[in-house]
Amino acid sequence: MKKKKDLRLAAEEFIHKEGKYNDENLEDLSFEEIKLLVHELKVHQIELEMQNEELRRTHAELEQVKAKYFDIYDLAPEGYLILSEDGQIIETNLTAATMLGQARRDLTKKQLTHYISKEDQDSYYLHRKELFESLEPQECELRMLKNDGSLFWGHIKATAVIDDGIPMCRLVLSDVTKRKTIEIQLQQSMDDLLESQRIARLGTWRMDLVTNEIAWSEELYKIYGLDPTGSPPPFIEHIKLFTPEGWEKLSTAIEQTKTSGIPYELELETVLNDGSHGWMWVRGEGQKDSKGHVISLWGAAQDITERKKNEEKLFYLSNHDHLTGLHNRRYFERELERLDTKENLPLSIIMFDVNGLKLVNDSFGHELGDVLFKKAAETINQVSRDEDIVARIGGDEFVLVLPKTSAYESVEIANQIKALTTKEIVANIELSISYGYDTKELENQSISTIVENAENFMYKYKLYERTSLRSKTIELIMTTLFEKSHGEKQHSNRVSSICHAIALEMKLDKDIVKQMGTVGLIHDIGKIGVDEKILNKTGKLTNGERVDIEKHPEIGWRLLSSTNEFAEFAQLVIDHHEKWDGTGYPHGLKGEAIHLEARILSIAEAYDAMTTKKSYRKELTKEEAIKELMRCSGTRFDPEIVKVFVNRVLSDSEKL
């Protein structure tokens, strides 16, 4: 009975759970029916327990999947962010927070622009605007800022989504600093390469021998004056880029490289797009396939036009005189050796020297001397023949080498040149040259001896002509000086008269008396080297101008000492501003160390200067000038000469 009771209780419990039976019909069940019912109950209970176990397992698996998802989400190599439409951070994963150097909780509600460099914020705003307007994914690379202010390059891929009607942005952030750094370095290297090519005027090229396709670098287009956006000319038209000689060299070299693979290197004359010519250094190499066949050519080309021009200039300068344009001594010696053959006999040499050039340079300046010198060069070159060699071989010297020319013919040529030079007059100065010649008639004669003989004859002839020429030049210098300053002419004439008068009263030798008149006239010849503005200045001289004018005694000495006729006056001229007490210039001579004639000249010039009116001061009277002379007697002037001048010359006014 107890068993049946237990079964009944279990059945009632099952019935209540299942709801298949009610209390009324349960009483009507037989024992077998109840037993069957209990069996169903156990089976169902087992099924329920199995279902519960499955649910527990599923829940555990879901928890594991959820944990894995969040691990993947947080620890992914890329950052994930969810932004509002206005760019506010709503959610972020751990990687993004790490990238930005900020705790996740501190990122929310911040604007993403807080972590974008100012330089790239405009780009970010444009991409965000395009994202929500087009709803198309957007990508960009921006310089991002960590919380500590350090920079990194971020690649952003953004997608727009609508969540419960609210636009949002899902954003994937990748740190591409390494790649970007490499890209920047590569770009910098490329920029440096292109800049180097631009500076070096160096272009590169490649040609596929199978397809005949040609590729040029940008600089190569520029070298030829072509548009870099266009295509390079086909190989068949490359002939237009070179002179015929240059193209022949290049095409031959290319064919050899195609066959042998041996590189070539050439310097070629080019024809640019505007028709002008230039020069280019080219190098080409062959690239072979696995079978050893040359399948392409590549190489470099450099514009060397400036270098070639400089080489030509250097070559010209190494063989020519810079002033006259004639050949120089180096060229003369080399050509003389070449012409010294039996076939060129008789071989004549004429040496020329420009007379009085140093005196002209010292008096009128090197500019005028250069004009005279170039006139001489032009005259000699004008008479020379195509096969002759004309060269400047020294300061004032030229040489003319005459192949197959006899001594008689040489003299005719030399005289023709000399006659032409006398017609050349520059600033009232007549061009004058001396010449000497010799001729090699026999093969065993030394050509160096012939040159030496011609030079010796030239110097002998020059000595004969020099005196009269220099005298003419001195006269011309004084005339030119007086033209520059009328006051100088009057001053020189008065000083000449005073010097002559003093010398007479001192009863000096009659030749000295005569010379004193001459030296008084030319004592200021050195002023030819002083600026005309200083000579004619109406006011007081500045310190600099005074330094310039105090150079005139030395200039006068140089001019006069270069002549035979006036050389004896040179020392008197350089001394005439020396003082008796040694305080004068230019050498500070004292007392009788100063030439007597110079001491006379000093007094004569000082008296005339004191008694001549100047724009910046009134002239002194005779009595005032005498008083000044007496005051300076024994310091500036020789006291004995002052006595003679005051007591015997100035007392008799007719002597002046």
Is the pLDDT score of 14 beyond 50? yes
Cα 168 from Cα 82, distance rounded (Å): 7
Closest CA to 332 of 321, 345, 344: 321
Q: What is the pLDDT of residue 68?
A: 54
In which residue are the tokens 């000096």 written?
508
Contact of 414 with 437, CB cutoff 8 Å? yes
Bridge partners of residue 298, in order along the sequence: 206, 285
For the record, the structure tokens of 268 come out as: 């070629």
Looking at the chain, the number of H-run helices and the number of E-run strands are 24, 16
Least confident of 233-237, 246-250, 577-581: 233-237
pLDDT at position 315 is 87
Q: If you average pLDDT over every residue of the chain, what do you get? A: 84
CB atoms within 10 A of CB 7: 17
* 523 vs 24: which has the higher pLDDT: 523
CB 401 within 8 A of CB 410: no
| pLDDT at 201 (0 to 100) | 73
The enclosing H or E element of 92 equals strand 89-92
Q: Which of 211-215, 423-427, 464-468 has the highest mean pLDDT?
A: 211-215
Write out the CATH class of domain 77-175.
alpha beta
pLDDT at position 1 is 46
Check residue 3 and give its pLDDT. Answer: 47
Average pLDDT (614-642) is 88
Are residues 588 and 503 in contact, defined by beta-carbon separation less than 8 angstroms?
Answer: no
What is the separation, in whole angstroms, between the first and last Cα of the chain? 188
Which residues pair with residue 40 across a beta bridge? none
Sheet (strand 89-92) strand order:
89-92, 79-84, 166-175, 151-163, 138-145
Token look-up 């101008």 returns 545
Tell me which residue of 534, 480, 533 sits closest to 360, measured CA to CA: 480
Q: Do 321 and 232 meet the contact criterion of CB atoms below 8 Å apart?
A: no
Residue 58 token pair: 């599923």
Query: DSSP assignment of 15-36, as one string?
Result: HHHH-S--HHHHTT--HHHHHH
Is the pLDDT at 363 greater than 80? The verdict is no
How far apart, in Å, are the Cα atoms of 110 and each of 106, 116, 140, 160, 570? 8, 12, 21, 19, 99
For tokens 């020379």, the residue is: 384
What are the tens digits of pLDDT across the range 21-36?
A: 555 455 666 767 767 7
pLDDT of residue 199: 67
Share of the chain above pLDDT 90, in %: 41
Per DSSP bridges, beta strands 397-402 and 79-84 are: unpaired
Question: Which fold would CATH assign to domain 485-655?
Answer: Hypothetical protein af1432 (1.10.3210)
Top-ranked range on mean pLDDT: pick from 128-142, 367-381, 481-495: 128-142
Q: How confident is the model at residue 423 (pLDDT cuts 50, 70, 90)?
A: confident
Amino acid 62: pLDDT: 58
DSSP letter string, 297-341: EEEEEEE-HHHHHHHHHHHHHHHB-TTT-SB-HHHHHHHHHHH-S
Q: Is 325 left (phi over 0), alpha (psi -120 to 50) or beta?
A: left
Say what the pLDDT of residue 4 is: 47
Say if pTM beats, i.e. exceeds, 0.85: no
For residue 453, how many other CB atoms are within 10 A of its CB? 17
Res. 131 pLDDT band, cuts 50 70 90? very high
Backbone φ/ψ region at 427: left (φ over 0), alpha (ψ -120 to 50), beta: left
In tens, the pLDDT along 370-401 reads 888 899 999 999 999 999 999 999 888 999 99
For domain 320-467, the CATH superfamily is Reverse transcriptase/Diguanylate cyclase domain (3.30.70.270)
Q: Please list, in sequence order, all residues whose beta carbon lies within 8 angstroms of the beta carbon of residue 51, skipping any fewer than 6 positions away.
A: none
Segment 298-346, tens digit of pLDDT: 888 888 888 888 888 888 888 999 899 999 999 999 999 999 999 999 9
Instruction: Tell me the pLDDT tens digit for each residue of 85-124.
Output: 999 999 898 889 999 999 988 998 899 999 999 999 999 9
- Let me know the angle formed at the C-alpha of 78 by 77 and 79, rounded to the nearest 5 degrees: 130
Q: How far is residue 462's CA from residue 439's CA, in Å, rounded to a whole number?
A: 20
Mean pLDDT of 128-140: 93
One-letter amino acid of 457: F
Give residue 616's pLDDT.
62
Least confident of 42-51, 77-86, 273-282, 609-618: 42-51
Q: How far is CA 327 from CA 170, 332, 335, in A?
A: 84, 7, 10
DSSP characters over 143-207: EEE-TTS-EEEEEEEEEEEEETTEEEEEEEEEE-HHHHHHHHHHHHHHHHHHHHHHHHTEEEEEE
619: Cα separation from own chain's centroid: 59
CA nearest 543: which of 555, 534, 532? 534
Question: Backbone phi, then psi, for 231, in 5-degree steps?
Answer: -95, 150
Report the CATH fold assignment for 204-301: Beta-Lactamase (3.30.450)
Task: Judge residue 25's burial from the number of C-beta atoms within 10 Å of its C-beta, 0-12 exposed, 13-18 middle, 19 or more buried.
Answer: exposed
Spatial neighbors of 503 by CB under 8 A, at least 6 apart, are 512, 513, 516, 597, 600
The pLDDT score that the predictor gives to residue 15 is 54
Backbone angles phi, psi at 26, to 5 degrees: -65, -35
Answer yes or no: same fold for 204-301 and 485-655. no
Question: Residue 206: which of 296, 320, 116 has the closest Cα?
Answer: 296
User: What's the pLDDT at 129?
Assistant: 93
| pLDDT surpassing 80 at residue 55 | no
- Which tens digits make up the pLDDT trace of 432-483? 888 899 999 999 999 999 999 999 888 877 765 555 555 555 665 666 666 6
Exposure string of 286-305, with b = 16+ CB inside 10 Å and e = fewer, is beeeeeeebebbebbbbbbb
637 near 583, Cβ under 8 Å? no
CB 474 within 8 A of CB 565: yes
> Domains of the chain: which residue ranges?
1-75, 77-175, 204-301, 320-467, 485-655
Residue % of the chain over a pLDDT of 70: 82
Least confident of 8-22, 473-487, 496-510: 8-22
